[in-house]
Amino acid sequence: MVNSPSSSAQNSANTETENLEYVPVPRAGFGRRILAIVYDSLVVAAVIMFAFAVLLAALGIFTKTGVINLADGEDHAALLQGNPLTTVYLISVLLWFYVGFWVRGGQTLGMRTWRLRVRNTDNSRITKKQALIRAVTALFGLGNIWVLFGSEKLALQDRIAKCEVVVLSKEANQFVNWK
């Protein structure tokens, strides 16, 4: 597929605009990061409950149609609990949540509330690869402890993924560009 000149020019203009709007802003400290994590944990709990409900509904359909048979006295939840496939599914949902938000706008809902944004140092969006590295190396939020010990205010996941979390002004937070 060949890019038309107008689409190439538009992509170039979007990148240039994103980089031209660069304004140095302070990096996020430990307190704001933790508050965003607490807020996001409520959202993540709801997402996980919904994902598990979808899984239970699918299992209910499979048992009703005879695709899966349960042993006597076994219920649907017991079949899913401790199952490695269930764990992989729920971890995938979590990764989808964080990677999706970070790549599209640089903010989860908690980050938006506390006016935080993850970005590259040139103000560009992080890539899916960076977001995945960031999610895996965050160590369930413990990677943020590194912020307390460095003058650069970079968490472990920020260092490894080569990005930063910054504090936006109220005005800038309202106009974060989403894909």
| Segment 48-62, tens digit of pLDDT | 999 999 999 999 898
Q: Is the pLDDT of residue 136 over 80?
A: yes
pTM: 0.80
Domain that holds residue 115: 26-174
Residue 5 reports pLDDT greater than 70: no
pLDDT mean across residues, the chain: 87
Question: Are β-strands 164-167 and 116-119 bridged in parallel, bridged antiparallel, or unpaired?
Answer: antiparallel
More confident residue, 47 or 2: 47
Question: Domain count of the chain?
Answer: 1
Q: How far is CA 23 from the centre of its chain?
A: 24
Is 58 part of a structural domain of the chain?
yes
Residue 19 located in a structural domain: no
The answer to whether residue 82 sits within a structural domain is yes
Classify residue 95: in a domain, yes or no. yes
Angle at 124 between CA 153 and CA 168, to 5 degrees: 50
Q: Is residue 13 part of a domain?
A: no
Answer whether residue 105 shows pLDDT above 50. yes
Tell me the CA distances in angstroms from 46 to 78, 81, 126, one per residue in order: 21, 18, 26
Q: How many CB atoms lie within 10 A of CB 108?
A: 22
* Sequence-separated (6 or more) residues with CB below 8 Å from residue 24: none
User: Residue 2 domain-assigned?
Assistant: no
In a domain, 134, yes or no: yes
Bridge partners, residue 27, by sequence:
166
Q: Inform me whether the pLDDT recorded for 15 exceeds 50.
A: no
